[in-house]
């Protein structure tokens, strides 16, 4: 008779996990490319708002689950707080896309799991062992290599990405407080609703009338972002994150190639080196947690959270 562990092992497919993570990477690179192609005419806050507003169509299948959900005042507060924090991160991400190359946005986005690791130690009581501290240090060195303060100008876009990664890390930590209290579908839906509401006043303050082409691009952004999160879930279900996490480095390669070939952005070897150090540190943390099995792994989701 098969044990429960045998059943779980039979569902693990490393090749499927790698495949779905490859698809995830392509989806999120498509998101960044479309936002880059959108350009400067539509303000970042409005672009972010329209992306989420148009994406609400994907919540229609969740209406039944949302109506049955019994949410406490604490959960409503957490959802609202997460929506506000995530809204700030999304605005900053859209702004950074108009200021710095695709490769730099992608590489600096890898910092989110580092902030999650630090936040989990400070607010969730997770142990920050010497190896994790060393890995965080390596990731910060990677960020310094990308920015190279004193050797080149640090633009507002770089500063925006530093705070973007921080905001997305905080958003994930707030999500950890909600997943135990309600259905994960509700958590995802509430994020979309609250971020749309959070972005609305900022969008209205800078509103310009978008063209049909701009609306189509932003709807495509919503489609690719939604598909990316779905395929990422499939990847995590098919294989351990120790298998799928290193594959996310391909996002940086694809973003660098796309930036150079389509947008004429120079290839910066330092960005690749710094991004590699950050992702290597994240992968090490994931691997160590999987080996030790002392507690649930804090998922090092390095994907774009838009």
Q: What is the mean pLDDT of each run of 10 residues along the chain (306 residues)?
A: 44 80 92 91 95 93 86 90 95 93 91 84 77 86 88 89 93 81 82 95 96 96 91 81 77 90 91 90 76 53 57
HSE at residue 199, side-chain half, CA atoms within 13 A, is: 30
Report d(CA 256, CA 9) in Å as an integer. Answer: 36
| pLDDT at residue 304, as a whole number | 55
Global pTM exceeds 0.85: no
């Amino acid at each position: 008779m098969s044990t429960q562990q045998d059943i779980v092992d039979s569902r693990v497919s490393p090749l499927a996990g790698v495949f779905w993570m490859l698809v995830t990477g392509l989806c999120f690179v498509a998101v960044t490319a479309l936002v880059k192609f959108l350009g400067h005419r539509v303000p970042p806050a409005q672009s972010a708002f329209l992306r989420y507003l148009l994406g609400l169509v994907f919540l229609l299948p969740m209406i039944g689950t949302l109506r049955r959900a019994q949410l406490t005042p604490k959960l409503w507060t957490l959802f609202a707080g997460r929506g506000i924090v995530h809204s700030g991160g999304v605005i900053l991400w859209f702004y950074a896309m108009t200021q710095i190359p695709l490769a730099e946005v992608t590489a600096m986005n890898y910092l989110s799991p580092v902030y999650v690791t630090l936040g989990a130690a400070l607010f969730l009581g997770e142990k920050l062992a010497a190896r994790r501290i060393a890995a965080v240090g390596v990731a910060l060195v990677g960020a310094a290599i990308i920015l190279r303060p004193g050797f080149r100008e640090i633009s507002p876009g770089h500063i925006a990405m530093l705070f973007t990664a921080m905001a997305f890390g905080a958003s994930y930590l707030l999500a950890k407080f909600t997943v135990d209290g309600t259905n994960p579908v509700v958590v995802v839906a509430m994020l979309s609703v609250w971020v749309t509401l959070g972005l609305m006043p900022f969008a209205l303050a800078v509103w310009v009338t978008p063209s049909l082409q701009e609306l189509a691009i932003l709807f495509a952004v919503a489609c690719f972002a939604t598909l990316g999160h779905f395929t990422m879930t499939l990847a995590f279900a098919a294989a351990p994150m120790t298998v799928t996490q290193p594959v996310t480095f391909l996002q940086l390669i694809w973003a660098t190639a796309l930036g150079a070939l389509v947008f004429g952005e120079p290839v910066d070897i330092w960005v690749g080196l710094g991004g590699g150090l950050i992702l290597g540190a994240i992968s090490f943390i994931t691997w160590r947690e999987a080996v030790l099995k002392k507690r649930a792994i804090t998922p090092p989701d390095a994907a774009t959270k838009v």
